């Protein structure tokens, strides 16, 4: 176990180094000049030259990289070109928002996807099964932005129950915070629940046909106990891993939803930064996302080993 952990941790360092080089060089390929974008409508050549100099944009890329990575190793991600905020502070501001949204979305996805998947598998071929499949198809094929706007029309404009957009931190007012995030979390969770439902259904179908379930039934256990205690537990292991990975994706993949609901999260931060050619912010956010993703993967692997003793070498 320790051996495994040490090996995995040793792998993280070169991976992150590779990621950092990749982010840095890839964004140099972006067309457009950050100094020019930053200048906005005030495109005076002397001022633009000064910005280039100030942010070392006039130096060779490897030199720029060296300065950046030196700062990162000391915990300094640089500052935003657009508004002078330290990137570290920006990340600290946005990460909790996206984490809250992501976790809520995952909870919603699990609450919908797993029961639907189980029912579909147990009542295979019935109206329940078709209903659940229809729901899954709808969830996968409904565009986030459309569903988002429809929800806003229904719950904010027509019924007036929920705020149309914006964000309130949990620590400030938990009710207002939940009210502001429940619609976007549902939009995100809805799509994932469809995927979870499909996976749960096929995993359950496989398990339900296995020998030990037949044995359990033969022992005379109630159907309820067979499904919930015996079949579901085994079927869920891959689903939980899938959920963890989806959470990782949500960290950076909630862009559209964040845009519609004006949630000031990670996705919005990175998209705005790319359009503004705010290099320091793009680099910082991608690096942090990559680190979180790698960590989540590691945690999932460890959890797997803990759950499944057969993998402990």
**Binding positions for another protein, rule: CB under 8 A:** 31-33, 36-47, 50-51, 54, 82-85, 90, 93-94, 149, 152-153, 155-157, 160-168, 173, 175-176, 178-179, 182, 259-262, 264, 268-269, 272, 275, 277
Closest separation between CB of residue 205 and another protein, Å? 27
Structure tokens at 198: 């499909």
Using the minimum distance from each CB to another protein, give the nearer residue, 17 or 275. 275
How does DSSP assign 113-140, residue by residue? HHHHHHHHHHTTTSHHHHHHHHHHHHHH
Q: How far is CA 79 from CA 20, 35, 55, 114, 265, in A?
A: 17, 14, 10, 43, 18
CA 248 remoteness from chain centre: 4
Using the minimum distance from each CB to another protein, give the nearer residue, 148 or 243. 148
What is the DSSP code (8-state) at residue 259? H
Nearest to 148 by CA among 105, 196, 91: 105
Closest separation between CB of residue 176 and another protein, Å? 5
Closest separation between CB of residue 155 and another protein, Å? 7
Using the minimum distance from each CB to another protein, give the nearer residue, 20 or 190. 190
Distance between CA atoms of residues 59 and 122, nearest Å = 64
| Coil, strand or helix at 1 | coil
Nearest to 102 by CA among 254, 239, 269: 254
Distance between CA atoms of residues 23 and 274, nearest Å = 12
Closest separation between CB of residue 264 and another protein, Å? 4
Closest separation between CB of residue 130 and another protein, Å? 19
Using the minimum distance from each CB to another protein, give the nearer residue, 25 or 54. 54
Using the minimum distance from each CB to another protein, give the nearer residue, 235 or 288. 288
Distance between CA atoms of residues 53 and 3, nearest Å = 48
Closest separation between CB of residue 37 and another protein, Å? 5
Closest separation between CB of residue 160 and another protein, Å? 6
Q: Residue 166: left (phi > 0), alpha (psi -120 to 50), or beta?
A: left
Q: How far is CA 251 from CA 53, 113, 312, in A?
A: 34, 20, 30
Structure tokens at 51: 């910005």
What is the DSSP code (8-state) at residue 254? -
Distance between CA atoms of residues 4 and 8, nearest Å = 6
Using the minimum distance from each CB to another protein, give the nearer residue, 200 or 257. 257
Closest separation between CB of residue 56 and another protein, Å? 14
Using the minimum distance from each CB to another protein, give the nearer residue, 139 or 265. 265
CA 146 remoteness from chain centre: 20
Using the minimum distance from each CB to another protein, give the nearer residue, 52 or 217. 52
């Amino acid at each position: 176990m320790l051996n495994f952990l040490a090996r995995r941790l040793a792998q993280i360092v070169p991976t992150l180094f590779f990621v950092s080089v990749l982010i840095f060089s890839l964004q140099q390929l972006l067309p457009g000049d950050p100094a020019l974008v930053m200048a906005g409508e005030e495109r005076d050549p002397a001022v633009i030259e000064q910005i280039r100099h100030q942010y070392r944009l006039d130096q060779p890329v490897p030199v720029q990289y060296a300065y950046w990575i030196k700062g990162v190793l000391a915990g300094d991600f640089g500052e935003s070109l657009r508004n002078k905020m330290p990137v570290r502070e920006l990340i600290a501001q946005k990460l909790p928002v996206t984490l809250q949204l992501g976790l809520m979305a995952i909870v919603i996805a699990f609450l919908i996807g797993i029961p639907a998947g189980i029912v579909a598998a147990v009542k295979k071929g019935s109206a329940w099964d078709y209903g659940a499949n229809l729901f899954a198809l709808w969830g996968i094929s409904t565009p986030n932005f459309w569903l988002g706007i429809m929800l806003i029309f229904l719950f904010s404009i027509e019924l007036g129950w929920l705020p149309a957009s914006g964000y309130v931190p949990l620590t400030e007012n938990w009710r207002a915070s939940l009210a502001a995030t429940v619609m976007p979390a549902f939009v995100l969770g809805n799509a994932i629940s469809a995927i979870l439902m499909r996976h749960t259904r096929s995993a359950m179908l496989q398990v339900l046909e296995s020998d030990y379930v037949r044995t359990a039934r033969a022992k005379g256990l109630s159907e309820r106990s067979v499904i919930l205690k015996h079949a579901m537990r085994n079927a869920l292991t891959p689903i939980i891993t899938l959920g963890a990975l989806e959470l990782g994706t949500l960290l950076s993949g909630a862009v559209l939803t964040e845009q519609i609901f004006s949630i000031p999260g990670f996705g919005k931060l990175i998209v705005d930064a790319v359009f503004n050619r705010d290099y320091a912010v793009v680099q910082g956010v991608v690096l942090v996302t990559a680190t979180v993703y790698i960590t989540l993967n590691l945690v999932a692997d460890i959890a797997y080993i803990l759950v499944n003793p057969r993998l402990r070498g």
